[in-house]
Structure 1
Amino acid sequence: MKLQEFFEEHPAAAIAFSGGADSAYLLAEALRAGCRVRPYFVKGPFQPAFELEDARRLCAQLGAELTVLAADPLANPEVVANGPRRCYYCKKAIFGALLAAARADGFAELWDGTNASDDAQDRPGMKALEELQVLSPLRLCGVPKTQVRARSRELGLFTWEKPAYACLATRIPTGTAITAGALERVEAAEGALFALGFTDFRVRVLGELARLQLPAAQLAAAAEKHGAITRALNPWFSGVLLDLTPRREE
């Protein structure tokens, strides 16, 4: 099935909108197809502030009305425990809230931006989406990440080259309890690294230490700027470790 055919069969829906490349492209194409769609952004401790800023900017560009919902995954003990199924429990709660809000606004369907390049075996949260009957048009229509970026560029979406940005909870090692304080430290540290010119990286928490994962092209610059990086992250971490294995896109 082609994306246009999907839109013809599904003319109205709410969209789980993160402000990232995938959901931005899905929203843009749905609007171009004449669908009645509304994007919903979930604001909570797992999302950095810039994601909401990007979501608002993109919706303003497309002329779409953005609905912002508040959610606190840390209210769920199974999420806080951060076991292997943490993403499942988190997605189940968040998308359950999205579905309730969407139905209250008159939408029978909820879509998300999962694309055909996403590996279901590596994403336990997809199980929750399946159980909640959330539809993933890009995945169902075989649209890979490369096509998302290429078409987004053609459509003039600023998100076309935006790196994937997994939620802040992924920075905490599995089995280590997630706290609001740890998430705040990560967000602040990653903001400091952005200010130093680094992109598409991760700050992983190792107790009081930060482990930096960077793309291969930025490893040399990180080594050269080790002093500046250490000073920038010092308010939140007592030391910084540079992972020499290049980071791959999640």
Structure 2
Amino acid sequence: MLPADLTAKLEQLKKNLTELESILVAYSGGVDSSLLLKVASTTPVKVLAVTAASPTYPQAEIEAATRLARELGVQHMVINTNEMDNPEFCANPPERCYHCKKELFATLQELAREHGLKAIVDGANADDRSDFRPGSQAAREYGVKSPLQEAGLTKDDIRQLARHLGLPNWDKPSMACLSSRIPYGQAITAEKLKQVAAAEDYLRQFGIKEIRVRHHGTIARIEVNPSAFALLIDSKVRANLVNYFHTLGFTYITMDLEGFRSGSMNAVLNK
């Protein structure tokens, strides 16, 4: 049984979605947008889920999002976005996400018109209000709605609801785009994104769920939960890891003793 307050939030979410009548869901396959899509699929609302594919997002994530959309029985499209062609994005300023989301929402707006859909919705939640989210400015400019946020659903609420509703990715770690691994002010390139993607894929073979490999030029800074430290510094594992990271082009391989933390690159910003 769900707590009464969470049941009320779920009902509010359904009400908000139903009032929109027809929606295009900006669907990444993460737990937030997956819950949004799941709940929308239980309402009379006409739904189209759209996933953006680009070098900044791992292909495995696109494939997982596609499988789940198929399981939910909703119409789903994968589109290609071209943020890597935008010099303002590739320069990697603190407002990088604004430039990415601006292109995405412009594309989604056109798609919504083509399919006769009245609203674009994203998976922003109530916790996002207290985080540094430049992409939210782009959402406001394009009139994108955030039904989870409007219903007061926090990240913990969303995971609890996703589990209750049987979503297989209810405990999936947050997956920011690969450009977030590169320090602000250092150019985003396809080569760097490939290095990061390959490095993180390698670490996942050890069953580690929360991983970030931060790209500091010739230095790879590995962020994992402290519980995984012992595994990675095992002599054989460490030797193989170092050798593999060298083949990717990293000269120095380090482990961050503070451990995994989402958005750690924001620590340099003047809040």
- Which of residues 246, 257, 265 in structure 2 aligns to 1:244? 257
Give the distance between the partners of 1:192 and 1:202, measured in 2 at CA.
12
Corresponding position of 2:81: 71
Instruction: Indicate whether 1:28 and 2:38 are aligned.
Output: yes
CA deviation after TM superposition for structure 1 residue 120, in Å = 4.9
Contact persistence 1:193–1:232 (CA under 8 A): no
Query: How many residues matched?
Result: 250
Return the match for 1:94 from 94, 104, 129: 104
For structure 1, the residue ranges without an aligned partner over 5 or more in a row are: none
Matches within 5 A, 1:91-130: 91-130=101-140
Change (3 A) 1:121 1:150: closer
Once the two structures are superposed, residues 89-126 of structure 1 have per-residue CA deviations (whole angstroms, 9 ceiling, x without a partner) of 11111111111112111112100001112135511111
Q: Quote the offset at 1:232 in angstroms.
A: 2.9
User: For each residue in 1:143-170, what CA deviation from the matched residue of structure 2 results, as whole angstroms up to 9, or x when unmatched?
Assistant: 1111111111122111101100000000
**Which amino acid counterpart does residue 14 of structure 1 have in structure 2?**
L
Partner of 2:164: 154
User: Residue 49 of structure 1 corresponds to which residue in structure 2?
Assistant: 59
* Residue type at the aligned position of 1:93: E
* Greater CA drift, 18-27 or 210-219: 210-219
Instruction: Give the share of equivalent positions with the same residue, in percent.
Output: 37
- The one-letter amino acid of 1:235's match is T
User: Aligned partners of 2:32 and 2:131: how far apart in 1?
Assistant: 19
- Measure how far apart 1:174 and its partner are: 0.3
> Which residue in the other structure is 2:243 paired with?
231
Which residue of 223, 230, 247 maps to 1:220? 230
Question: Which SS does the other structure have where 1:234 is aligned?
Answer: helix
Q: Whole-Å Cα distance in 1 between the matches of residues 136 and 186 of structure 2?
A: 22
Q: 1:165 to 1:121 in 2, by over 3 A?
A: closer
Residue type of the alignment partner of 1:143: L
Q: Secondary structure at the match of 1:14?
A: strand
Aligned with residue 138 of structure 1, among 148, 164, 170: 148
What is the 5 A alignment of 1:175-186?
Answer: 175-186=185-196
Relative to the length of structure 2, the TM-score reads 0.88
Q: How big is the alpha-carbon RMSD for the aligned residues of Structure 1 and Structure 2?
A: 1.4
CA contact (8 A) 2:21 2:118 kept: no
Letter in 1 for 2:158: V
- Other-structure match for 1:7: 17
Cα distance in 2 for residues equivalent to 1:249 and 1:35: 33
Q: TM-score, normalised by structure 1?
A: 0.95
Letter in 2 for 1:153: R
| Matching residue of 1:82 | 92
2-structure distance, mates of 1:228, 1:153 = 36
Instruction: Give, in whole Å, the separation in 2 of the partners of 1:102 and 1:195.
Output: 39
Distance change in 2, residues 1:19/1:74 (3 Å): same
Equivalent-residue separation in structure 1 for 2:117 and 2:160 (angstroms): 30
Query: Does the 8 A contact of 1:78 with 1:89 survive in 2?
Result: yes
- Which among 192, 195, 200 is matched to residue 190 of structure 1? 200
Aligned mates of 2:111, 2:17 — CA distance in 1: 22
SS of alignment partner, residue 235 of structure 1: helix
Structure 2 distance, partners of 1:162, 1:239, is 30
Counterpart amino acid of residue 160 in structure 2: A
The 2-side partners of 1:114 and 1:52 are apart by 19
Alpha-carbon separation, structure 1, partners of 2:112 and 2:243: 45
Q: Deviations over 1:175-202 (max 9, x none)?
A: 0011111111111111111123222110
